[in-house]
Amino acid sequence: MTSWTPVRTHIDPYLRLMRLDRPIGSWLLYWPTLIAIYLAADGQPGWRILIGFALGTVLMRSAGCVANDMADRNFDAQVKRTAQRPLATGELRRRHALPLLLGLLLASASLLLLWDLKTLFWSLPALALALLYPLMKRWTYLPQVVLGAAFSWSIPMAFAAQGVSPGRSAWLLYAAALSWVVAYDTQYAMVDRDDDLRIGVRSTAILFAELDLFMIACLQALFLGGLYLLGRAAALRWPFDLALIAAALRFAWQGWCCRERQREACFAAFLDNHRVGAWIFAGVFCSYLLPLGS
């Protein structure tokens, strides 16, 4: 045993509570944010906004995970995928989680000092949506829509931080990103559908029932269609169009992967959305690298 082992043993439950061992959520949150940053800055963002929003993404995603687990600790213990989460097992208690949540929110708020008051005001709906989301699965079959609204709110915030009023491009990206979040979080909810039906938790996966794959495909089509309109509005060039084709091929693979609705396959499809976000950002980034007229 090394001298660090007791320390690591102590902090490991907190790291898992924040899902720092599973960064997929932070990436899925950051890709649309990064696209918005580049659009707002016309392809030339500063390091302060890039690093500030990267840190904010990790902090707010971690805060959302802590808040979600505090609300769902009794449910999580009854779901196969979440049964080993620290609050579900009793490894941590709410009295441990609450100071962590407040610390994460305070750290996130401190990042807003990098920008003006307008960005602070734009951040308030994001905070409200993030804290409201864990309760939605008790009240409605559409918690994924609330998650999509929360995850996508960093888009108008990114424009505001650049000193640009969110306009057509911002809201096209917002609508597209919201559709994408609902699609991939429905895939995520399909993993837990049997358990959720048993314990009374609601989701779009339950609402869509046997139409789940069709509805996911429709939402993915809305995402691609919204991005196509965004590309025209923002005058993005041919690398962006290639990225849309690559994303469409990934979505086709995801649909094939989920065709038998197996837990592992649906989870693999969910994880694949990281590649979709990376391709779309690469298309935006490369579009701005090309000289005008290309």
Query: Is residue 2 included in any domain, yes or no?
Result: no
Query: Is residue 294 included in any domain, yes or no?
Result: no
Other C-beta atoms within 10 Å of 135: how many? 15
Alpha helices in the chain (DSSP H): 5-17, 24-40, 47-76, 86-89, 94-111, 117-139, 143-152, 154-161, 168-191, 193-199, 204-208, 212-233, 238-257, 263-271, 273-289
Each residue's pLDDT tens digit, 68-114: 888 877 777 788 888 888 888 888 888 888 999 999 989 988 888 88
Residue 200 above 90 pLDDT? no
Tell me, what CATH number does 275's domain have?
1.10.357.140
Query: Is residue 222 included in any domain, yes or no?
Result: yes
Angstrom distance (rounded) from CA 14 to CA 16? 5
- For residues 62-91, one letter each, b for 16 or more C-beta atoms within 10 angstroms of the residue's C-beta and e for the rest, the string is bbbbbbbbbbbbebbbbbeebeebbbbeee
Query: Is residue 188 included in any domain, yes or no?
Result: yes
Count of structural domains, the chain: 1
Each residue's pLDDT tens digit, 136-181: 888 889 989 999 998 899 999 999 988 888 889 999 999 999 999 9
- What pTM was estimated for this model as a whole? 0.91
Residue 266 above 60 pLDDT? yes
* Predicted local confidence at residue 112, as pLDDT: 82
Query: Is residue 233 included in any domain, yes or no?
Result: yes
Angstrom distance (rounded) from CA 96 to CA 2? 26
Residue 8 above 60 pLDDT? no
What mean pLDDT is predicted for residues 114-121?
A: 80
Q: What range does the domain containing 221 cover?
A: 7-289
Query: Is residue 104 included in any domain, yes or no?
Result: yes
Query: Is residue 240 included in any domain, yes or no?
Result: yes
Query: Is residue 1 included in any domain, yes or no?
Result: no
The end-to-end CA distance of the chain, in Å, is 60
